[in-house]
Structure 1
Amino acid sequence: MTVPTRVPLFTDIDDVAARLAETGYLPDTATATAVFLADRLGKPLLVEGPAGVGKTELARAIAQCTGAGLVRLQCYEGVDEARALYEWNHAKQILRIQAGSGDWDQTKMDVFSEEFLLTRPLLTAIKRTEPTVLLIDETDKADIEIEGLLLEVLSDFAVTVPELGTIVAEHPPFVLLTSNATRELSEALKRRCLFLHIDFPEPDLERRILLSRVPELPEKVAEELVRIIGVLRGMQLKKMPSVAETIDWGRTVLALGMDTIDDAMVAATLGVVLKHQSDQVRAAGELKLN
């Protein structure tokens, strides 16, 4: 089957970087390049990295800066074809059968029409005629069996519904898969994708991200918050602070009307960035906040 082509969303790498930056997402060169190549080559982009580095936010930013619709499949243990692709509205089918007055062949054709089809994220993205970003989030949390379904969909951007035939995407979506690497994804799925690893940003980039999201924050305060976040990420914590939590911390400081960072403020607001009591105790001890 010939894979349908999609009109590119971006003109070049600089266009990717500039338009993402307009949304507040500041990509490094590797990220901007990977997004451009995935767009230009029409291949899914697999983004791997620790929780909280901005993988999901990248998909949202791409959709926002291009005006594309965002369709999200949230993966979890036990997600199946009925939740990812489609299922039939059995209750509505039964009501139609009970109300039917024609012959059985006609009734059967009626109840297996698109009127009774419940589309889930994968089929929704394929059927859309507008520009679409399909986010397959936390792919590593799904059972390995679901990867076979993803392979079929991502190979041809087509779905076969036995009662209706094959539904082919007129305008294939931009596909972004995320993984926290809690398990290894299959080589077959990886071969279908371009790969991008995102780690926590360097301090200068994180400071610029923070200031772009909280522009009223004094630059010296932003530098100090990012420095402390870096120290926290170097500790043995259950959950390292995410970039989103760095931004929340900046907004917290602003809401408190503070223009300097001291130990008392850090101790009082650790709950903004650390969500486990054991992490707060460890951080308070290592930062000598007690």
Structure 2
Amino acid sequence: MHSPEDVAAALDRVGYLADPGLATAAYLGVALGRPLFCEGEPGTGKTALAAAMARALDVPLIRLQCHEGIDATQALYDWDFPRQLLHLRALEAAAPGALDADEAEKSLYTRRFLLARPLLRALEEAPCVLLVDEIDRADDEFEAFLLEVLGEYAVTIPELGEVRAAVPPLVVLTSNRTREVHDALKRRCLYHWLEHPDLPREIAILRRTLPEVTEALAAQVAAAVRRLRAADLLKPPGVAETIDWTRALLALGRDELDAEAAAATLGAVLKYREDADRVVRAGMAALLGG
């Protein structure tokens, strides 16, 4: 991949339609070896970008799903205590009364008993794509730890020594902006804000993902979803909901989005009762542009 156009074409071949700005950001992430920080509303294709980049580069995708309370142990490595205990019992059974405590302890902390979590796997298995998903759900301490790992692409395991990536992984961090991520982490990354696709690109995404959908139905669904995003909803639909809605219509044998079909399948695109009630009160004609 020697240009943003090459990246866009490679992503297109694996079914991800990137606009020029996103293709440029992805290209620079590869070319400069910098993490790519993708921020935007849910459903704008941030997580899908990492998966598409892995397919386009033909490398593994390793995902670290962040959540409240995540710590270094959950992200990096842990010791397999049940297997260690079985190993210790086997040693005791093999040499009853003659077990050397120091040697037994050394044998417990070897690579065979290490459980590699996503960050350690990414360092060991690189080249790969490391997806750090929803970093905004983690806390400040985990951000600081992650910044340290991304600075060196290496970690030290006290019992085993340093593990350093032979080739730095391509790192994609995503955030739904439920809170502000610290500037120190953002400075380490290239930044890109993802918008919902415009109407022609969303229609193209539908036609690519669901080849059986007609141009007319794809256009009707994409236009209706754009109206939903413009409404005052708790959870505006993303591209995934656009695809789910179209799949639901196709499963019902519909080739047109009319008021009846929209009412019957509204649960595929709206996931909060308050949002559905608001749309119903406004009327299906408003949703369909009538």
Q: What is the CA-CA distance between 1:287 and the residue it aligns to? A: 3.4
Distance 2:82 2:249 in 1: 52
Query: How does 1:140-151 map onto structure 2 within 5 Å?
Result: 140-151=136-147
Q: What is the CA-CA distance between 1:91 and the residue it aligns to? A: 2.3
Q: Which residue identity does 2:7 align to in structure 1?
A: V
The yes-or-no answer on 1:182 pairing with 2:168 is no
1:79: which partner in 2?
70
2:55: which partner in 1?
64
Distance 1:99 1:267 in 2: 64
2:116: which partner in 1?
119
**Two-structure CA RMSD over aligned residues (Å):** 1.4
Q: What is the CA-CA distance between 1:98 and the residue it aligns to? A: 3.4
Percentage of matched positions with identical amino acids: 46
Query: How does 1:1-290 map onto structure 2 within 5 Å?
Result: 10-100=1-91, 101=95, 102-129=99-126, 131-288=127-284
Q: What is the CA-CA distance between 1:263 and the residue it aligns to? A: 0.8
Distance 2:284 2:241 in 1: 21
Distance 2:109 2:256 in 1: 65
Q: Which moved more, 1:255-264 or 1:141-150?
A: 255-264
Distance 1:265 1:91 in 2: 54
Q: TM-score, normalised by structure 2?
A: 0.93
Q: Secondary structure, in 3 states, of the residue corresponding to 2:64?
A: strand
Distance 1:59 1:126 in 2: 17
Q: Secondary structure, in 3 states, of the residue corresponding to 1:26?
A: coil
Q: Secondary structure, in 3 states, of the residue corresponding to 2:140?
A: coil
Contact 1:267/1:289 (8 A) holds in 2 = no
Deviations 1:153-201 (A, max 9, x none): 1011001111111111112211000000111111111111000100111
Q: TM-score, normalised by structure 1?
A: 0.93
- Residue-pair matches, total: 280
| Structure 1, gaps ≥5 residues long | 1-9
Contact 1:238/1:276 (8 A) holds in 2 = yes
